[in-house]
Amino acid sequence: MQSYPPSLIPTQPVLSFGSFLGGARRVPSVLDAGNCRFVTSGRVAIALALKQMKIGAGDSVMVPAYHCASMIEPVIWSGATPVFYRINADTSVNLDDIAAKLDGTTRLVMATNYFGFPQNLSAIRTFCDARGLRMLEDCAHSFLGEHQGKAVGSWGDYAIASSMKFFPIYEGGCLVSSRNALGSVQLHSAGVGFEAKVAFNTLEDGFEYRRLGMVKALLRLPMFLKNFVWGQIKARKPSTSQSMAPGSSDGGFGFDPNWLDKRSSYFSRLMLWLVSRERMAVLRRKNYLRLQDAMQGLPGVRPLFPQLPERVYPWVFPLLTDDPQPVFHMLKEAGVPIIRFGEYLWPGVDASVCEHSVDLSRRVLQFPCHQELKQEEIDWMIQKIKDAVLSQASPTT
């Protein structure tokens, strides 16, 4: 795999003094959907949802053919069989394909709100109810928002979310249910080391991108001591022992069941209440629309979603690209942050399973539109995208 320089602007939200500013208007979120348990990642929440529904060996779970490994690994861990269903070109669920693939082992349908745009959740709920199926609402991309007047996360028997995609935190996810109690989900802290690591790493991410300068100066000595102690621990700790933080926090793949009973850190849970959701909602929409407007008329690219509906608060800006690889390479070399959700589909998922999933996994490049981007950073990113796209459209001499 080719190595690229680090991103020059933050791919995900980083902590700043502005994180806590904003109005008090209540923006609907998955936390309004029902009972909630705060865990360390969305993939852990999926596994806990499967466990709550007693889904295991002999059962099958309908999962979208457009996915990341983190959505499938918990299903495999549970002992159930993932059955991949088709999505349409606009990422909407193909209910006819699900209906055609149902059999006596089918227990659950997983529905994903891609990039923050809700599915037709009421139709999926009706479909599942008519067939005695459970519904897992995957809100990993849609922490904020609503559908038909109800907060995202309200439609499934269970819902999961990934708070670290929306908040400036190092780890975090949640399991939510509007229909079921979660009293049997017992969680505890992963320990003092984990709690400290989360707080320090969140601050360091902010420092790396030139935020929190005054705090950085005040914490120079403690941060030096922290890095020294961490280095000593890593040097002495056997590689086979449990990590001090979940792999998902560093963008890794793989499902580690050791984190199933671990509660999200106190620091991350505190940020969920202190960080302004109104600011998050307003700026994500503003930044998304700015990117959308800037891409209009560029050759060979177009926004995956032509419109941004009201009460939709995107995770990222997905750009459909006719010839993605040269553009991707040029932008990565320039330090532009790019996310490629679904770049690697589960083995066996090819065009015969779902041609749209394969096409989207190859052609859609996603760019950050989160609330912690500075205006000059967005300007710089837009210019780099334009340069890359136009360089591919220009005739060679």
Question: How are strands ordered across the β-sheet holding 316-321?
Answer: 301-303, 316-321, 364-368
pLDDT band at 397 (very low <50, low <70, confident <90, very high): very low
Domains assigned to the chain: 27-177 (3.40.640.10), 192-271 (no CATH), 277-393 (3.90.1150.10)
pLDDT higher at 239 or 287? 287
Predicted local distance difference test score (pLDDT) of residue 223: 65
pLDDT in tens, 16-47: 999 999 876 789 999 999 999 999 999 999 99
Predicted local distance difference test score (pLDDT) of residue 42: 96
What is the sign of the dihedral through the CA atoms of 201, 69, 340 and 100? negative
Q: What is the DSSP letter of 260?
A: T
Residue range 345-374: average pLDDT?
A: 98
pLDDT band at 376 (very low <50, low <70, confident <90, very high): very high
pLDDT at 11 over 70: yes
pLDDT at 284 over 70: yes
d(CA 145, CA 143): 7
Residue range 272-283: average pLDDT?
A: 96
d(CA 285, CA 308): 8
Average pLDDT of the chain to the nearest whole number: 92
3-state secondary structure of 341: coil
187 membership: H or E segment, kind and range = none
Predicted local distance difference test score (pLDDT) of residue 296: 95
* Residue type, position 351, single letter: A
Spatial CA neighbour of 392 closest among 343, 321, 290: 321
**For residue 394, with 0-12 CB atoms within 10 Å meaning exposed, 13-18 middle and 19 or more buried, which class applies?**
exposed
pLDDT at 13 over 70: yes
Please report, to the nearest 10 degrees, the dihedral formed by the alpha carbons of residues 216, 218, 220, 222 taken in order: -120
Q: What share of the chain has pLDDT > 70, as a percent?
A: 90
pLDDT band at 225 (very low <50, low <70, confident <90, very high): low
Predicted local distance difference test score (pLDDT) of residue 241: 46
pLDDT band at 230 (very low <50, low <70, confident <90, very high): low
pLDDT in tens, 71-87: 999 999 999 999 999 99
pLDDT in tens, 86-101: 999 999 999 999 999 9
